[in-house]
């Protein structure tokens, strides 16, 4: 009989243990951008957008990736000297020592047309000097010398350029020379040039070269290099000078028109990368500069980096079980949610905060900074422009008494309890039947069917 009791008790303990593990398992098993394809200016219906003479243009915020303005940015155009940004990238990434001397070949010098720094065959310059000549003066001879040094020929270097363009994401571009000199098969888009320029910007040495107004740190070069970007340099004229502009590339061809890539920094530190392709020059007016200056002003005057949710803002409250002294606690963003938005933003009507909780309730203990969901910031109820995790800003202790009763409640109300109850009834029924049978058998054994004596 004691053996039967032991089996029954062991079975009950096992069922409770299995149920508890199953209940725990159930808990643990829960487990550069546009606005709907258009620029922020268009999506927000910002007034007085720039009227661009150039065929195409593109402007986006480097801090956030937000596309602020665009015009025909996917239309095919000729790259002109903006090609040299990619030439510089490929040369820089394939030359280990920028101070190594490179000797100019006869073929590189002979092929040179257009802008140059009068490099002669047999002369030697460091890669650093040649890159400065390329990016400050737009020197075509420097581009060709670098190309031959890296890949032995311009054609082979162009293969590297096209591979790099695809890697960067400029998939609608193709380059058949290193200078941007016109070739019908050398094509790009304003969007692709912006991607290449963004990559270029994050190579500090190259960007700083393109931002240098005057370079005379080399005895080997035959002249002081003056930056031909009139946004930066006032050596020949100051009518396009723009004090908050930064470097990159300018140039033109008859077929590609006037092209320019540059950056501008706003008063609040936002940096915009701007591209103008296939603009024009007429009556001594370079409309590429006028175009890009109007884009500069539009970006810096109409947009700013704004905080739409901060770490001190209560987003919602969450029920908590088995906690000492509390039954709810507040959730906050784990970081400030900031984004580039129009200055005339109607916050109340245009910004919405959507809380997405991972659980319906929490269970103590809770640690400070535990994550329970996320808040998604939407602009005009359609585009998610920011998000942050929702966290507790306090620690909450567990009540052992409440925890004990909650475990009992889970057992009693859970799906496993029904199975347990059925099995328990069967076991107790068996036990009762065996007990009755055992007692009856024992009684019969000692008292039943014995002869009587008088």
Domain CATH code at residue 66: 3.40.710.10
- Is 402 part of any domain? no
Sign of CA dihedral 67, 71, 73, 77: negative
- In this structure, what are the phi and psi dihedrals at residue 126, rounded to the nearest 5 degrees? -75, 160
Contact status, residue 337 vs residue 308, Cβ threshold 8 Å: yes
pLDDT tens readout for residues 20-33: 433 333 333 322 98
The structural domain count of the chain equals 3
pLDDT tens for each residue of the chain, 454 residues long: 454 444 444 444 343 333 343 333 333 332 298 998 999 999 999 999 999 999 999 999 999 999 999 999 999 999 999 999 999 999 999 999 999 999 999 999 998 888 899 999 999 999 999 999 999 999 999 999 999 999 999 999 999 999 999 999 999 999 999 999 999 999 999 999 999 999 999 999 999 999 999 998 777 877 889 999 999 999 889 999 999 999 999 999 999 999 999 999 999 999 999 999 999 999 999 999 999 999 999 999 999 999 999 999 999 999 988 776 778 889 999 999 999 999 999 988 999 999 999 999 888 888 999 999 999 999 998 888 889 999 998 888 765 444 454 555 555 565 666 666 678 778 877 777 777 777 776 666 555 555 554 4
pTM of the model: 0.78
Give the burial class of 213: count Cβ atoms within 10 A of its Cβ; 0-12 exposed, 13-18 middle, 19 or more buried: middle
Q: Which residues pair with 391 in a beta bridge?
A: 332, 371
Tell me: do 74 and 200 sit in the same domain: yes
Q: Helices 140-151 and 154-168 sit at what angle, rounded to 10 degrees?
A: 90
240: DSSP letter: T
Domain of 430, in residue numbers: 2-21+414-447
Pick from 284, 302, 320: which residue ends a domain?
Answer: 302
Buried b (16+ CB within 10 A) or exposed e, 234-267: eeeeeebebeebbbbbbbbbeebbbbbbbbbbbe
The C-alpha atoms of residue 429 and residue 411 are separated, in whole angstroms, by 22
Average pLDDT, rounded, for the chain? 86
Tell me: do 200 and 77 sit in the same domain: yes
Residue 142: closest CA among 195, 220, 70: 220
Pick from 270, 302, 334: which residue ends a domain?
Answer: 302
């Amino acid at each position: 009989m004691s053996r039967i009791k032991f089996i029954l008790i062991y079975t009950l303990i096992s069922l409770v243990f299995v149920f508890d593990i199953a209940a725990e398992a159930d808990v643990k098993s829960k487990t550069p951008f546009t606005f709907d394809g258009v620029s922020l200016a268009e999506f927000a219906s910002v007034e007085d957008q720039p009227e661009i003479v150039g065929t195409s243009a593109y402007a986006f915020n480097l801090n956030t990736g937000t596309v602020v303005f665009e015009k025909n940015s996917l239309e095919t155009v000729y790259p002109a000297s903006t090609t040299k940004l990619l030439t510089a990238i490929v040369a820089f990434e394939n030359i280990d020592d920028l101070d190594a001397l490179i000797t100019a070949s006869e073929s590189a010098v002979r092929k040179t047309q257009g802008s140059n720094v009068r490099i002669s065959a047999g002369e030697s310059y460091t890669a650093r000097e040649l890159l400065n000549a390329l990016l400050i003066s737009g020197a075509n001879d420097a581009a060709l010398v670098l190309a031959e040094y890296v890949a032995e020929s311009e054609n082979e270097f162009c293969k590297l350029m096209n591979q790099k363009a695809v890697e960067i994401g400029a998939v609608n571009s193709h380059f058949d020379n290193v200078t941007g000199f016109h070739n019908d098969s050398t094509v790009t888009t304003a969007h692709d040039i912006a991607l290449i320029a963004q990559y270029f910007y994050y190579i500090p040495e190259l960007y700083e070269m393109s931002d240098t107004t005057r370079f005379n740190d080399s005895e080997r070069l035959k002249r002081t290099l003056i930056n031909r970007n009139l946004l930066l340099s006032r050596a020949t004229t100051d009518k396009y000078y723009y004090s908050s502009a930064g470097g990159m590339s300018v140039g033109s061809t008859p077929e590609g028109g006037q092209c320019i890539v540059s950056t501008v920094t706003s008063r609040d530190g936002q940096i915009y990368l701007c591209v103008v392709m296939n603009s024009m020059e007429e009556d001594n007016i370079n409309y590429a500069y006028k175009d890009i200056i109007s884009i500069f002003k539009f970006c810096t005057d109409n947009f700013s980096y704004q905080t739409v949710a901060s770490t001190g803002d209560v987003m919602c409250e969450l029920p908590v079980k088995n906690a000492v002294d509390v039954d709810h606690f507040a959730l906050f963003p784990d970081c400030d949610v900031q984004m580039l938005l129009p200055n005339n933003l109607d916050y109340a009507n245009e910004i919405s905060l959507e809380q997405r909780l991972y659980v319906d309730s929490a269970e103590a203990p809770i640690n400070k900074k535990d994550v329970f969901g996320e808040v998604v910031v939407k602009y005009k109820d359609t585009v998610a422009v920011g998000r942050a995790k929702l966290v507790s800003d306090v620690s909450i202790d567990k009540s052992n008494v409440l925890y004990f009763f909650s475990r009992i409640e889970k057992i009693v109300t859970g799906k496993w309890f029904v199975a347990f109850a059925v099995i328990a009834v069967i076991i107790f029924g068996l036990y009762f039947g065996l007990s009755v049978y055992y007692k009856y058998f024992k009684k019969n054994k000692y008292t039943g069917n014995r002869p009587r004596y008088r």
